A and B are shown apart, each in its own frame.
Chain A
Amino acid sequence: MPEIRTGVYVCHCGSNISEKVDVAAVVDFAAKLTGVAVSRDYKYMCSEPGQELIKKDIRELGINRVVVASCSPRMHEPTFRRALNAAGLNGYLLEMANIREQVSWVTLNPAQATQKAKALISGAVRKVRSNQPLEEKYVEVNPNVLVVGGGIAGLEAALKIANSGNQVYLVEREPSVGGNMAKFDKTFPTLDCAACILTPKMVEAGQHEKVKMFTYSEVAGVDGYIGNFKVKVRKKARYVDLNKCTACGDCEKVCPVNTADAFNEGLSERKAIYKLFAQAVPNVYQIEKKDKPPCRVACPAGVNVQGYLALTREGKYREALALVRENMPIPAVCGRVCFHPCEAECRRGELDEPVSINAVKRFLADYENKQGQPPVVNPQAKSGKRVAVIGSGPAGLAAAFYLNKAGHEVVVFEAKPEAGGLLRYGIPEYRLPKDVLKRELDYITDSGVKLRTNTRLGRDFSINDLKKQGYDAVFLAVGAGKEQNLGLEGEELSGVMSGLSFLEAANSRQKLDVNSDKVLVIGGGNAAVDAARTAKRLGAGSVEVIYRRTRNEMPAFAEEVAEAEREGISFRFLTAPLKITGKAGRVTSVECQQMELGEPDESGRRQPIPVPNAKFTLAADYVLVAIGQRVDPLFGGSKYVDIETNSNGTVKTNQYYLTNVLGVFAGGDMVTGPARMVDAVAAGKEASRMIDAYLRGETMPEREQPAKGQKEPLTGKKYYEVLRHRSPHLAVDKRGWRDEVVAALSEQDVMAEARRCLDCGVCSECFECVPACHAQAINHQAQDEYVDLEVGSIILATGFENLDPAVGVQWGYRRFPNVLTGLQFERLSNASGPTGGKLLTEDGREPEAVAILHCIGSRDKNYQEYCSRVCCMASLKFAHLVKEKIKAKVYEFYIDMRAYGKQYEEFYNRVQDEGVNFIRGKGAEVLEKSGRLVVRAEDTLLGAFREVPVDMVILNSALIPRRDAGAVAHLFSIQRSRDGFFLESHPKLEPIKTATDGIYLAGTCQGPKDIPDTVAQAAGAAAEALEKITAGRVKVSPITAYNIAERCSGCKTCIAMCPYKAISFDEERKVAIYNEALCKGCGTCVASCPSGAARMRNYETDQMLEIIEGVCAV
């Protein structure tokens, strides 16, 4: 082991160090330390002669360790390493003691400074003894470059690199490149039109053979290190084929959905299928789809509610009804009896009241009927298969209709004399007129479905018979039509009937003798209320409904209960029947028990429990029992085929609606127990998909997953308060059995209701665009795609956002009309904007006075402390544009005028000459007074308080980092500065590099700046990338962490700690693997390793202890 001979070199750094630290004393002190062969000082160690001192000593005095006491290693460590190398000594046998930034610059007392300098040098001298010589490493550089962001910065960088012959991948989140600059009108100070200078670059990049553009795409994942990045890009589904779309715009014309146009900053609306702006690159359309709107999600049958409302709005009633029929084959029925869960979820309800969706559907169905013959469904090519549907209620009808549509031969077997099930025999005529039901049934039979009535399963035929007759599948949908008995004494008396039988008799036009005084209905569901209202219409003197729980727990639809009460039916809650008493075989009264609510039962409703000593009697001439329905256990004639049932009589099916018998499916009330019409239709439709697959020998599809609802706040269309239109109801005294109580809305009201829909899903999937596109470019089933790229450098040019001035209530943004942001004014002034470039207030007038407020949210401790740099010039530009276009007075409320750039001051003078009023005082408040806007400010030059009435206020709000800047920084493993913008390596000397090698910044994502600075920085970023590409390889510091595998316990603590994702895990050997190319030598893993397996080259533990010993020894 050769003798350690250390040279210590103390720098004066001019007077930076020597004015505080007694350099001579330090040199003397160092000379006496162990191993120090020579100790010198010099005014500027980093200079040529300074370095020569070191080199000479190495050559002539055999110095083999060097300590330089000077500035921060961040300044000159590379310099001194090079000096050592030049003299033939390994550069890593160097240690620097920072006696400038850490001593002379921060210590007030010279004695203390000198002492501290000595301590630091003492530590360094001890540590450097055990430094090892290290070899520098290189990694290859992939010449491809990724540019993230297609604004002016991204485009500029991309073109520079592409023109050098290297491949660029340009990823842009919006549907077109152009960024924020594409929105501007004119640019300062030259007043070039932004589009005129931007679009040539957009087109050039779009057409360049070395630029591959991924628009409407985002970076989803980044792995790797400089020279070798692996990037995953997510291409969002456009639903329009990029290669086929010719941007003819035919699709836009037929799209019925409007939403806020974000490109026009919310000042106008656009369609759901749209092109971002006229000069978009690529010049194609795309469709915006948000999460399924809650109305569609809530509908058990999955009817596309938003779609048919949108089509209705356009007057396309036929198309709207066709869309309904894709999921609901009986729209006229549905529009009358459905409990409309869609309306409960309608997001319009968040603003005022839900849309009258049900009433619109009814209108569409009735309208078609008025126009005459509805179009008949043409089924696809015949499949040759036969299906038997047992039961013609909503489940059976739906299954039959869709199976027929799929091309199968369908025969519906109905036990009763007429078809319809409970739609006919349960629901009273005043809710669902028989002629309406007839036309719905005719539509289904006209489409090819055969119907056999008066044919009962078990009595007239069996399932085995069906098999013998050549049916390939059977769908059981007989419902739950058997009444539940009370099981009480007296139930067999004359005058006691089940509600269901009562309704069936009434619906069959049988004579019912209800001309009696008191009808008592027992039950709280729709059947009970239907029975009660029917009894009233048939002449009952009084009708009372008794229910054992309260109004809140009643399953009957609230509307039905309300109407029943209006018709004079009384409800007695918390009442349960105990016994029915009679005389001469006829009912006379019902003995009742008062109940109260206790704990909830398995249905979640509170259990009724009897109140002690609270019995009473109610007189009754007729008792209708409607306490629930069951599946008729005799439905199957079970001795022929054994269909497995549950204990409550319902049929067991699997997720494919299949019973235990192959080829026999079941759905509707007979499977679920009593449910609602729309649930039955949904089951019938879904089962038809399963049966169709089964018949074709294909795998049965999985049941449709419940779609997720919307969680984002409502944005999109502008809201105008329009309250819900209510369907007219027949006057109570005119309500006979056959008189429909609820009338339809007028066509005008229906249109108004359809317009109330907020289109919260944006694209409604009405599919009107598909046939309109002659290029057949639209594909609504498109999915997001993922692409993997390999690049060597990444340039981030993701741009900025503007602070929403609504955060400061005092500026009146979104409180008063005609208060605009700068970007909104750009769009107003732009010839391709919402007003064609005319400066108009919201009510279409030219403003007589315009106020322009600087520093909204900038230079403000409450929002952003920094200056946004461009707004002063933008304000001048706005002032000039106003003066140029209209004869308005212009007031600029400013704090300072920042006109620092080339030709900026000259522009400022020009605008002053144009007669713009400059008030030196920040616009403090915007108010509304006497119909005008008023800006209040302190005019500091006048020393007075001013109130200036204007017609339009432009707020120049702060440039802020994009809202997802944090997520982006995390994705690319870079840092952000305190203001939230991406952090550069050094604010003065390295504004483009980041702490992560290979990732460079360009444009406003690094901080607010104007277009000339952005372009310059982008070119700089390109140069950084090209520097690496040209070198072909990159040097990587050898001061990295490494691990001793034998000591590694596989705890993975280091992996979680590493901020540079430089450590991976070897699953086989169960040890950590260190990627020394990615490692930045931060030491976190070393500190966190519990096994002492993680080490740092030239910063070993014993070396750290040497430093401590050395420092403490002084």
Chain B
Amino acid sequence: MNFAYYPGCSLHASGREYDESTRAVFEALGVGLQEIDDWNCCGTTALPSTNYLFSLLVPARNLALAEQKGQDVAVACNSCYVSLRRAKTVYEGNPVWRSKMEQALAKIKTNFSGKVQVRHVLDIVVNEIGLERISANVKRPLQGLKVVPYYGCQIARPLNEFAHPELPTEMDRLLKTLGAKVLRYDHKTKCCGGSHITTKEADTLGLNQELLDEAQMRGAEAIVVSCPLCQLNLDAYQEKINQRFNTNYQIPVIYFTQLLGAAIGVPLKKLGLNRNLVPAKRLVQKYIGEVI
């Protein structure tokens, strides 16, 4: 099993620990990840509103690069996942845009057949590697750590591929396999606002407050995420939310790959668990048994 790895901008910046933990986990499980050489930003949710053709070309280039190596693409960020898939879906399904894309790509001497698959890291872990293999590799079960699985919206919508659009179970099942206690979480695919945190802060803080509210109400000790945008909003702005809404949330927001890595015995220093703004120290000490 080998994948072309598309980290996306966030994973090389604010979401660094997602990148670290994903690589570490894939290495430990013997799955190949080769970062796409000279990849570019996917354009994310902002670009389609400005120039639609451009927003298709930008991710398509990355897919073309992966195609040259004959590999499918593994992507970790929900938003990059949607951008890359949109380029492929439009290319395959819409002959008008397809010909425009082909013309434009030809100008940079890139060709793209659309055959490359785009897979989210969560999809690969649960459906390709499989929970049985993961279970066999669990060395440090999470001892009932209470978590809520927060998928974010873009992993499930639009055009859901592997996850149910409203109530997916992939992360739930994975976390259960790792020994965590997965709590009910009705907000599992509700939007965190994404990059609106920059332009419409007040409303977006409200969205995130709702997410934190249910997590607290359910008694979660951590919110587990699969997207760096969600992680940033929930983690970095938790203090601001507390100030604005007069709440006292203190819930660490951790990537599922970090918990997966910890459970299968990857050394903690490779998982970036010390990067959280809402500290995960106590949780790590209690459930994983190490001091970071």
Q: In the complex, which residues of chain B have a beta carbon less than 8 angstroms from the beta carbon of A809?
A: 164, 166-167
- Min CB distance B75 to A, Å, is 26
Q: Which residues of B, 137-175, contact A by the 8 Å Cβ criterion?
A: 164, 166-167
Closest to B165 in A: A809
Question: Is A810 part of the contact surface with B, judged by Cβ < 8 Å?
Answer: yes
Q: Please report the C-alpha to C-alpha distance between residue A928 and residue B186 in the assembled complex, in whole angstroms.
A: 8
Question: Is A203 part of the contact surface with B, judged by Cβ < 8 Å?
Answer: no
Are B166 and A927 in touch, CB under 8 angstroms? no
Q: In the complex, which residues of chain A have a beta carbon less than 8 angstroms from the beta carbon of B164?
A: 809
Are B166 and A810 in touch, CB under 8 angstroms? yes
Q: In the complex, which residues of chain B have a beta carbon less than 8 angstroms from the beta carbon of A928?
A: 186
- Min CB distance A981 to B, Å, is 29
Q: Please report the C-alpha to C-alpha distance between residue A829 and residue B164 in the assembled complex, in whole angstroms.
A: 36
Per-position 1/0 for A283-325, Cβ under 8 A of B: 0000000000000000000000000000000000000000000
Are A927 and B186 in touch, CB under 8 angstroms? yes
Per-position 1/0 for A565-589, Cβ under 8 A of B: 0000000000000000000000000
Q: Please report the C-alpha to C-alpha distance between residue A63 and residue B166 in the assembled complex, in whole angstroms.
A: 73
Q: In the complex, which residues of chain B have a beta carbon less than 8 angstroms from the beta carbon of A927?
A: 186
Q: In the complex, which residues of chain A have a beta carbon less than 8 angstroms from the beta carbon of B166?
A: 809-810
Q: Please report the C-alpha to C-alpha distance between residue A71 and residue B167 in the assembled complex, in whole angstroms.
A: 55
- Min CB distance A585 to B, Å, is 51
Q: Please report the C-alpha to C-alpha distance between residue A928 and residue B166 in the assembled complex, in whole angstroms.
A: 15
Q: Please report the C-alpha to C-alpha distance between residue A809 and residue B167 in the assembled complex, in whole angstroms.
A: 8
Interface size class of B (residues with CB under 8 A): under 10
B contact face: mostly helix, strand, loop, or mixed:
loop
Per-position 1/0 for B243-277, Cβ under 8 A of A: 00000000000000000000000000000000000
Q: In the complex, which residues of chain A have a beta carbon less than 8 angstroms from the beta carbon of B167?
A: 809
Q: Please report the C-alpha to C-alpha distance between residue A809 and residue B160 in the assembled complex, in whole angstroms.
A: 15
Per-position 1/0 for A849-870, Cβ under 8 A of B: 0000000000000000000000
Q: Please report the C-alpha to C-alpha distance between residue A259 and residue B164 in the assembled complex, in whole angstroms.
A: 31
Q: Please report the C-alpha to C-alpha distance between residue A809 and residue B186 in the assembled complex, in whole angstroms.
A: 11
Per-position 1/0 for A802-831, Cβ under 8 A of B: 000000011000000000000000000000
Q: In the complex, which residues of chain B have a beta carbon less than 8 angstroms from the beta carbon of A810?
A: 166
Q: Please report the C-alpha to C-alpha distance between residue A927 and residue B164 in the assembled complex, in whole angstroms.
A: 18
Q: Please report the C-alpha to C-alpha distance between residue A809 and residue B189 in the assembled complex, in whole angstroms.
A: 12
Closest to B217 in A: A930
Q: Please report the C-alpha to C-alpha distance between residue A810 and residue B166 in the assembled complex, in whole angstroms.
A: 8
- Min CB distance A620 to B, Å, is 37
Q: Please report the C-alpha to C-alpha distance between residue A738 and residue B218 in the assembled complex, in whole angstroms.
A: 52
Closest to B166 in A: A809
- Min CB distance B219 to A, Å, is 15
- Min CB distance A924 to B, Å, is 13
- Min CB distance B35 to A, Å, is 37
Per-position 1/0 for A364-384, Cβ under 8 A of B: 000000000000000000000
- Min CB distance A329 to B, Å, is 46
Q: Which residues of A, 778-810, contact B by the 8 Å Cβ criterion?
A: 809-810
- Min CB distance A929 to B, Å, is 9
Q: Please report the C-alpha to C-alpha distance between residue A809 and residue B169 in the assembled complex, in whole angstroms.
A: 14
Q: In the complex, which residues of chain A have a beta carbon less than 8 angstroms from the beta carbon of B186?
A: 927-928
Q: Please report the C-alpha to C-alpha distance between residue A928 and residue B187 in the assembled complex, in whole angstroms.
A: 10
- Min CB distance A810 to B, Å, is 6
Q: Which residues of B, 90-146, contact A by the 8 Å Cβ criterion?
A: none
Q: Please report the C-alpha to C-alpha distance between residue A462 and residue B186 in the assembled complex, in whole angstroms.
A: 77
- Min CB distance A33 to B, Å, is 46
- Min CB distance A1105 to B, Å, is 40
Per-position 1/0 for A885-928, Cβ under 8 A of B: 00000000000000000000000000000000000000000011
Closest to A812 in B: B186
Q: Please report the C-alpha to C-alpha distance between residue A927 and residue B214 in the assembled complex, in whole angstroms.
A: 11
Q: Please report the C-alpha to C-alpha distance between residue A809 and residue B156 in the assembled complex, in whole angstroms.
A: 14
- Min CB distance A904 to B, Å, is 36
- Min CB distance A285 to B, Å, is 41
Closest to A810 in B: B166
- Min CB distance A721 to B, Å, is 14
Per-position 1/0 for A725-767, Cβ under 8 A of B: 0000000000000000000000000000000000000000000
Closest to B187 in A: A927
- Min CB distance A772 to B, Å, is 45
- Min CB distance A884 to B, Å, is 33
In the complex, which of the residues B164, B167, B186 has the most CB atoms of chain A within 10 Å of its own CB atom? B186
Q: Which residues of B, 45-85, contact A by the 8 Å Cβ criterion?
A: none
Q: Please report the C-alpha to C-alpha distance between residue A928 and residue B214 in the assembled complex, in whole angstroms.
A: 10
Q: Please report the C-alpha to C-alpha distance between residue A1079 and residue B38 in the assembled complex, in whole angstroms.
A: 71
Q: Please report the C-alpha to C-alpha distance between residue A799 and residue B259 in the assembled complex, in whole angstroms.
A: 54
Q: Please report the C-alpha to C-alpha distance between residue A809 and residue B166 in the assembled complex, in whole angstroms.
A: 7
Closest to B214 in A: A929
B interface residue numbers (CB < 8 A to A): 164, 166-167, 186
6 A–B contacts from the bound complex (CB under 8 Å): A809-B164, A809-B166, A809-B167, A810-B166, A927-B186, A928-B186
Leading 3 A-B pairs by shortest Cβ distance:
A809-B166, A809-B167, A810-B166
